[in-house]
Structure 1
Amino acid sequence: MRQGMKSLLTTTKIGLFDQGGLEEIFRHARNLVVTTIIVAAGIHAIDNASSMSALGVFDFRVVGYFVGVIGIVLFCLNLADGLYRLSKVRGHLFFQIATVVIYLLVTVRVAQLIVALRTT
């Protein structure tokens, strides 16, 4: 049992530090934050369209929906990239499903945080 735990720790260390796994995690987290900010900007434009004005922009609601959709598409592309990279790693299907669930939960929390910061 002790040898199995040592092997798991060694495998995890190699995957995270030697094979760039930690860099991938931070890259996806950064992309997640950026896409969430883009969606929040779209929502802000939709909610405050009547009080906003800019030269050459006729309807901020339309712009807000467009920006929001772009943010959602970028989020989905980031998720698909993560799933693709995760599928190349040898592992159980449970690990991949758990990773997606954690990713979605973190996404919701980051979106809530950004919206809360935006309203203060």
Structure 2
Amino acid sequence: MTRALDDLERDIEVSRAKLDQTIDRLQRRMTVSGVVDDALGVMRAGRYVSLFDTTLVAVRRNPIPVFLVAAGIGLFMQRMRKEAREDCSLPMQKKEKPTQAERKSPLPQPPDLRAGPYDF
């Protein structure tokens, strides 16, 4: 009976050790660098390896311009999403027809400079 108990304890210890190793591997993979490494590994296994490598070299050579372009695209997408959300939340309204002056020129007219400040 004590032998069976010892075997069970040993099996439990082995299972715990395996579980600890698995949890450690998962924690390493769930870090930012681990996720990036996994994504890079998947991309490198695809058909577009040369395109990916060329892009990666360009990013490594010019990280600041790439970051600025990515930030600009992100801001653009955010603004487009915000405007789309606002458009969806507004009730449908009839658009009024523009007046004849508005149809002629969408820009404001410059002031008449021929008249002086004291001319009435």
Instruction: Tell me the TM-score normalised to structure 2 length.
Output: 0.28
Query: Taking CA–CA contacts closer than 8 Å with sequence separation of 6 or more, which of the two structures ends up with the larger relative contact order?
Result: 1
Higher normalized helix content (fraction of residues): 1
Q: Which has the larger radius of gyration?
A: 2
Instruction: Tell me the TM-score normalised to structure 1 length.
Output: 0.28
